[in-house]
Amino acid sequence: MEAKLLFDDKHQWYVFARDPDKPEKIIDTNQYMVVSGKESLVLDPGGIEIFSAMLSTILKFIPLEQVTHLFASHQDPDIISSLGMWDQVIPKAKLYTPNLWEGFIRHFGCENIEFCGIKDGGGELKIGDTTLQFIPAHYLHSSANFHVYDPVAKILFSGDIGAALEPQDSSLFIEDFDSHCDKMKFFHQRWMPSNEAKNHWLKRVRKLDIDMMLPQHGRIFRGKEVEQFFDWFEALNVGVALDS
C-alpha cells in the first residue's frame, strides 16, 4: 500500500492508498491519518479486505499504542467494515462517527472500542495538540455524514465528495482538472441524492480556508483545484436516477 506524507509541521497528515494486493472487484479507497503528539486519528480506516495492509502501513510510521482514535464519515462497508478487527487490535481506542449510525455500525463488531457518536450539528475533536472540526455533510451521500476540517493544515477530508472512479495505478494527485471531471461525473450524479444537500454543503465549505481536499476515492485536490471543484459540483445536477 502506498503511503505519503501530505502535511508535516507540528502535526502530520498521511495518505494510505493504492493497495496492490486488494481484491480486484472491491472499490479502491484512500485512508488518511492525522498524528499529533502521542495520539492519532485514522480517517475512514477502510474495509475488512484491506485491514492487514492498513495495519502494516500504519505501523511503519507510529507504534500501535499511538493509534488512539478512528473516524468513520458514514456507515458504508468500504469505510468501516474493518471495525471488528480494529476492535481487537486497539481495544482502548475511540470511534467518532455519526450518532445516527450507531446501531448499524455496531454490526461490524464494536465490543471494546468506545463508540463516540457525533451529533447532527458536528463538533470538534482534539488529537494531541491539534483540534479538528467535524463538518456536517448529511445526505452526501449518506443520510448522516461528516467531513473533517483541520484549520491549521488547511485540509478538508471530504469523504465521498470529490471521489473519482479510476484504475488502481492512477496518481494520488490531480494532474489536469478538466480531464479529471469526467472521472468524477457519474459518481457524483448517481451516488449523491440531493441538489439541496449539495448546495447546503457548498455554502458551508466555501467559507473554509482550504489548501488541500482529500476524498476517500480517487485523487487529492490542491490549491485552486479545490475552488474549481466547488464550481464544477455546484453546476452538476445530482440524484439523476430519479429520471431513469
SS3 per residue for 37-55: CCEEEEECCCCHHHHHHHH
- Least distance in angstroms from the C-beta of 146 to other proteins: 28
Using the minimum distance from each CB to other proteins, give the nearer residue, 27 or 64.
64
- Least distance in angstroms from the C-beta of 32 to other proteins: 18
- Measured at the CA of 125, the angle between CA 52 and CA 210, to 5 degrees, comes to 90
- Least distance in angstroms from the C-beta of 23 to other proteins: 11
Give me the residues that bind other proteins (CB under 8 A), please: 21, 48, 51-53, 55-56, 58-61, 64, 84-85, 88-89
Can you tell me the distance from the alpha carbon of 231 to that of 235, in angstroms, rounded to the nearest whole number?
Answer: 6
Helix, coil or strand: residue 99: helix
Q: Residue 59, Cα to own-chain centre: how many angstroms? A: 20
- Least distance in angstroms from the C-beta of 183 to other proteins: 29
Q: Please compute Rg for the chain using Cα positions.
A: 17
- Least distance in angstroms from the C-beta of 148 to other proteins: 25
Kind plus residue range of the DSSP H or E element containing 20: none
φ, ψ (nearest 5 deg) of residue 51: -55, -50
Using the minimum distance from each CB to other proteins, give the nearer residue, 48 or 236.
48
Using the minimum distance from each CB to other proteins, give the nearer residue, 21 or 209.
21
Using the minimum distance from each CB to other proteins, give the nearer residue, 108 or 230.
108
Using the minimum distance from each CB to other proteins, give the nearer residue, 89 or 202.
89
Helix, coil or strand: residue 151: coil
Using the minimum distance from each CB to other proteins, give the nearer residue, 55 or 240.
55
Locate the DSSP E strands across 106-208.
114-118, 123-127, 130-136, 146-150, 155-159
- Least distance in angstroms from the C-beta of 55 to other proteins: 4
3-state percent breakdown (helix, strand, coil) of the chain, nearest 5: 30, 25, 40
